[in-house]
Amino acid sequence: MSEELSTRLLACAVESISGSPRPGQEQMVSAINEVIASNHHGLIQAGTGTGKSLGYLAPILALIAENPELQVVVATATLALQAQLAAKDIPTILQAGEQCGIEEISWCVLKGGANYPCLMKIRDAPIDPAQTQYSLEDLEDTDEVDASSRLGSQVVALRSWAEKQAAANLIADRDDAPSHSPRAWSMIAISGRECIGQACPYVGECFVMAARERASRAQLVVTNHALVAIEAGHGWSILDPDLLVLDEAHELAARVTTSRTDELSPQMVDRAVRLVGTLCKDSILDELKGAAARFGDALEDAESGRVRDPGTSLATADLKAAFRKAMSAIGRDSSNPAQEQVMNAVKEVFDILDRLSDPSDEDVVWVSVRPAYGPQLVVAPLRVAEAIRESILSHQSTVLTSATLKLGDSFSPILHTLGLEDPQGTPMAFETIDVGSPFNYASQGICYVAAHLPPPGRDGIGEEALEEILALVQAAGGRTLGLFSSMRAAERAAEFLRSRTDLPILLQGDEHLPDLIATFVAEPKVSLFGTISLWQGVDAPGDTCTLVIVDRIPFPRPDEPLMQARQEDVSKRGGNGFMEVAAGHAGLMLAQGTGRLIRGMDDRGVVAILDSRLVTARYSSFLISSMPPWWMTSKTDLVLEALVRLNQDQD
């Protein structure tokens, strides 16, 4: 019955948006029903334009309709897709369910705790003396509109909104909050580790608790990869999925890595010391301040890059000992919520120091320098395949889907990354399927490799490449998404074109990124240049994007400590570290970045890659087969003529 019901649901849903099911969607429905019936895992590559959200929501709804006691969790990598599911795709499939006689199911969106306000922080003031609890009275005497008064106004508005949500028994979600800055939100929210749970005097009204309780009872929960990783690491304490669907699954390993990564900066340490100072004023505090100062000085003097002995070289062991002594002196007091919150916040820093002071062979530690805030220590897991395999995939059947699961025209890299192809582990049953794409890439797009240009060097983008970009953008009449390997290269290219053409060039960082993308999508003559944030998630169908420029093959930087450590690890275990890590990363980025060009059935355009290694290097065939199957050429005149014709047709 599930297969038949899934098919009817898909047909009703697609018909409601003026269409008919695409072959890829029907293949997805069949494959997912196979996964459910066999209790296996399924990896489904569904190219851009397939409509994969409805392709997996139809069998999900059919499963829940026939088994109302089950729970299905859908997790995405990006907020944009999460919002699309909640606002568009789920209502569409539920409406189709009504037409097919399915009773309403319970569903919700679940986010991390920091996305909900903390009533204790709002009502009882922040525990950090450096933060202000703004009130209307604080603002009444302020005529001048400066940064402080703007911040205060936002905080007061957020507090008022949160109280109204609490009074109405609603769950206050950051996405529904009044306009605010990240700093204003930090004044009313806390990290998950700071939360004191049942000891909170407002636990009965807590938004986080209410969101988790609602999710634990829901039949369908939409969340994100990071929260799935955290849930799995805690033994699935809130959710208990019978089926897990991971959309944008190519991002899973990176999101699990991020969820298991810790950062420690002098600013974090200073805040923890201030919090200790609210409860401890004696020589123990002086000792802690001294240890914090030594850590800060050592970090300031350290070179960026990997660190082998942070316990000694960066004084983290001494700082950990000083925090342990301070925490012991303060003690726990469950009758004092403010003290409990201070202890939780301090313990968060202590736990990171514990990990940093004597890192295991499975951790990589390095110093990174942030442009605005200075150096910090970072510790990340060397490998995550086993964690994904044992904590996530072993819990239930899982459907993993994305437009870019195959690299080098093979599922093998993603299977290895996720731990599914692990000769050391217990065998896991899985199926793979590529349902294709409705787009004809070879006739809709040209991939132009500027083979005449010299290979990119370490000195940044060269004059010849800049001249090439100018010629391409002018031929296209703007309409260009420039994907660069560094902000320095993007800035130089933008500056060069602005001095040589009147075509409008937007640069990442000029304004809020979503506003820049919105302008780029709305105004065809506009070009947008930037780096990593633009390689994924930019959806510009039609004539607003007919040229995508990639300045160089997006290999990880050779001085990136985690990628370097992972390459070394693969090589030590007998593999090819460069191909598995560096080329794998580059292939995924090229697949995602060049995939920005064709977003609709009528789209036409050119992908221009200004790196001759794509046709000369030994790894070139792997990278080319990781991208959509473009028609390829290195003939500059042919490409410029094609762009001019496209520009004339669109004008």
Contacts for 306 with CB less than 8 Å, ≥ 6 apart? 364, 365, 366, 561, 564, 565
Strands 305-306 and 363-370: antiparallel
* Residue 421: predicted pLDDT: 83
Reading across the β-sheet that carries 527-530, which strands appear in turn?
A: 505-507, 527-530, 480-483, 547-550, 605-609, 445-449, 631-633
Residue 241 and residue 60: Cα distance in Å, rounded? Answer: 12
Average pLDDT over the chain, rounded to an integer: 92
How many residues are there in the chain?
A: 651
Specify the amino acid at residue 230.
Answer: I
The string of pLDDT tens digits covering residues 480-504 is 999 999 999 999 999 999 999 999 9
Residue 382 and residue 233: Cα distance in Å, rounded? Answer: 17
Residue 152 and residue 146: Cα distance in Å, rounded? Answer: 10
Assigned token pair, 507: 């640069």
* Residue 514: predicted pLDDT: 85
The mean per-residue pLDDT over the stretch 149-162 comes to: 90
The string of pLDDT tens digits covering residues 519-568 is 999 998 999 999 988 988 788 888 899 999 999 999 998 889 999 999 99
* Residue 137: predicted pLDDT: 62
* Residue 94: predicted pLDDT: 96
Contact between 85 and 53 (Cβ < 8 Å): yes
> Residue 17 has what DSSP assignment?
T
* Residue 146: predicted pLDDT: 59
Residue 259 and residue 556: Cα distance in Å, rounded? Answer: 20
Whole-angstrom CA distances from 292 to 271, 273, 308, 320 are 11, 8, 20, 10
Specify the amino acid at residue 651.
Answer: D
The string of pLDDT tens digits covering residues 92-111 is 999 999 999 998 899 999 99
pLDDT band, residue 128 (cuts 50/70/90): confident
**Residue that the structure tokens 């306009």 belong to:** 179
Whether the model clears a pTM of 0.85, i.e. scores above it, the answer is: yes
pLDDT band, residue 422 (cuts 50/70/90): confident
> Residue 87 has what DSSP assignment?
I
Assigned token pair, 408: 């080098």
